[in-house]
């Protein structure tokens, strides 16, 4: 796990730096007045926290002692690589992301997230249908209300146009 943590931290740090210095500054607009919060503040804060955690993970792994578990490392001769299960999971996540994007864009946040959350909970093993329905319906509504009352941002929905 030591090498995995070191290299994961390096990759996450590189991606975070790309976001901090290029993507966020070029894709966000300046605030409208001196009293407004800059649109880049929250993404920059989140990416900075991610960068710091990646650095801590890499440094912690780099300065830790080698253990007997190093033989079971996922790099080198013991690496199992990508198999059919990993490709199926990757395809499932890509499909869910595409559905979430199209659904949120063309249908709305609440209905799309209700369906995706219900499917995710069902496939995760939740079989109490009352609890599944309550969580799948209440969570997107609560998140939508939170976004409106805290950030004054209205999430997409065909009924809001």
Question: Rounded to two decimals, what is the model's pTM?
Answer: 0.59
Same domain, 32 and 101: no
On average, the pLDDT of the chain sits at 87
What pLDDT does residue 78 have?
58
Q: What average pLDDT score do residues 61-79 get?
A: 67
- Please state the domain count of the chain: 2
Same domain for 73 and 86? no
Q: What is the dihedral of CA 93, 39, 43, 109, to 10 degrees?
A: -30
User: DSSP letters of 63-126?
Assistant: TSPP-GGGGG-SSGGG-----HHHHHHHHHHHHHHHHHHHHHHHTBHHHHHHHHHHHHHHHTT-
Q: Dihedral, CA atoms, 109, 115, 121, 125, nearest 10 degrees?
A: -170
Last residue of a domain, one of 51, 80, 109: 80
Residue 50, domain extent: 1-80
Q: What is the pLDDT of residue 72?
A: 57
Q: Residue 37 and residue 123: Cα distance in Å, rounded? A: 40
Distance CA 79, CA 72 (A): 8
CA dist., res. 28 & res. 32, Å (int): 12
- Round to whole Å and give the CA distance between 40 and 131: 37
Verify that 136 and 155 share a domain, yes or no.
yes
- Residue-wise pLDDT for 15-26, tens only, equals 999 999 999 989
Same domain assignment for residues 87 and 74? no
């Amino acid at each position: 796990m030591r090498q995995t943590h070191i290299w994961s931290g390096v990759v996450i740090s590189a991606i975070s730096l790309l976001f901090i210095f290029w993507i966020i500054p070029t894709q966000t607009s300046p605030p409208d007045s001196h009293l407004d919060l800059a649109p880049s503040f929250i993404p920059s804060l989140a990416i900075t926290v991610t960068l710091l955690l990646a650095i801590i993970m890499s440094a912690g792994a780099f300065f830790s002692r080698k253990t007997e578990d190093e033989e079971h490392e996922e790099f080198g001769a013991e690496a199992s690589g990508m198999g059919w299960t990993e490709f199926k999971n990757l395809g499932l996540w890509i499909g869910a992301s595409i559905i979430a994007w199209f659904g949120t864009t063309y249908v709305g946040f609440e209905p799309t997230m209700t369906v995706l959350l219900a499917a995710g909970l069902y496939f995760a093993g939740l079989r109490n249908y009352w609890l599944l329905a309550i969580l799948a319906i209440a969570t997107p509504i609560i998140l939508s209300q939170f976004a409106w009352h805290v950030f004054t941002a209205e999430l997409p929905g065909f009924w809001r146009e």
